[in-house]
Structure 1
């Protein structure tokens, strides 16, 4: 039986259309599931990064504020300056480029280290007593691996800023992990759909609370630390 080219095109078109449609659906499903997993994986990364940043900021901030560690006095023997002569004034303000060595004695008299060293902002004369916080005791009486810092709320506020910044990452991580939304590339779940889904339970209030506290806390902490 003879068929016209138009009949052949219609026949092949009808036969090819279902095959192409099934392939498209399969491809779309695979891509969708991949990006769904990618969104939750990204959320997990944000969540872990936020928790680590908050923990690190709280840990370092507590030492810088003098709330943790062993409080004592370091009697200066010598101080060495490490910043270059052409350092900017802002760099000198924010850095602690002077290393002072001396003997540290704890406030309760129970600890002594003749090889202590602390970084400060200015050079001090020999014999000056500096309020110092020991963050790690030396491994032995003659070791020089003890860690010391000069406590001050200016440094503590910067660490507290990092603590609150971690809340922002944690909030984003919770949002992406729960909803599957990927904030990068092509997301299987649209932002509108993810936002609507987050409002059905406690996810949205929790995320908004973490973002609000994180942004306000980080902003205030950095500003106070900068102008201190």
Structure 2
């Protein structure tokens, strides 16, 4: 009886060790998978912020004036009641004329945050001209220094997510749920190479850049 009990205990210990190993490896993969998600989200956010910010600042595209004909609120068909209440996507149609007079579009339209009266002149950036003079497929972004700085804030915010992604990918630390590797162990491991300085640099620049950008946007 004693031998059977010892044998059963050994088998139970092996089973527990095997299950612990499986869980440990699963959470290690989960940490790196989460890091990959953070990294992809950060790069996407930074790319979007840089793209939109460059146009809003007038560094890219063709600058001009869109004279408003009418503005209307258009909600997506699948928008929830809360999103309808909290977000008001407004589309203003009108005529666009570039500053140099070389580009005109009588079917221009731009997404804005506020409704404008007919005849209002909006400063916009043409990101893509219409395919033909009669087509209504031109793309426009409302330009302005304040809007540009907000987009740059998003650009720097992406650095924070990228830094977190690099940290999780390099160490296997999972910032959610039960992590196989503790934060202290992951932080110590990151100091053995260039991971820690890179993460600190990206997160630090991201936080400072985003804070300064959003703060400056309120002064314009």
Give the TM-score of the pair, scaled to structure 2.
Answer: 0.84
What is the CA-CA distance between 1:73 and the residue it aligns to?
Answer: 3.2
CA RMSD of aligned residues (A): 2.4
Larger radius of gyration: 1
Q: Report the Cα distance in structure 2 between the residues aligned to 1:125 and 1:38, rounded to whole angstroms.
A: 54
Q: Report the Cα distance in structure 2 between the residues aligned to 1:45 and 1:182, rounded to whole angstroms.
A: 11
Alignment CA distance shift 1:118-1:44 (3 Å): closer
State which drifts further: 115-124 or 209-218: 115-124
Aligned to 1:65: 57
Structure 2 unmatched ranges of 5 or more = 75-86
Aligned counterpart in structure 1 of residue 178 of structure 2, from 169, 181, 186: 186
What is the CA-CA distance between 1:185 and the residue it aligns to?
Answer: 1.1
* SS in structure 2 of the partner of residue 42 of structure 1: helix
Aligned counterpart in structure 2 of residue 201 of structure 1, from 189, 193, 206: 193
Q: Is the 8 A contact 1:100 1:119 kept in 2?
A: no
Aligned to 2:37: 45
Structure 1 unmatched ranges of 5 or more = 1-7, 84-93
Q: Report the Cα distance in structure 1 between the residues aligned to 2:68 and 2:143, rounded to whole angstroms.
A: 20
Aligned counterpart in structure 1 of residue 46 of structure 2, from 54, 74, 79: 54
Alignment CA distance shift 1:41-1:130 (3 Å): closer
Alignment CA distance shift 1:130-1:22 (3 Å): closer
Aligned counterpart in structure 2 of residue 176 of structure 1, from 159, 168, 173: 168
Asked if residue 33 in structure 1 is aligned to residue 25 in structure 2, the reply is: yes
**How many residue pairs were aligned?**
207
Aligned to 1:143: 135
Q: Report the Cα distance in structure 2 between the residues aligned to 1:123 and 1:170, rounded to whole angstroms.
A: 38
Aligned to 2:71: 80
Asked if residue 163 in structure 1 is aligned to residue 155 in structure 2, the reply is: yes
Q: Is the 8 A contact 1:98 1:123 kept in 2?
A: no
Give the TM-score of the pair, scaled to structure 1.
Answer: 0.81
Q: Report the Cα distance in structure 1 between the residues aligned to 2:189 and 2:161, rounded to whole angstroms.
A: 20
Alignment CA distance shift 1:52-1:42 (3 Å): same
State which drifts further: 179-188 or 128-137: 128-137
Aligned counterpart in structure 1 of residue 7 of structure 2, from 15, 21, 46: 15
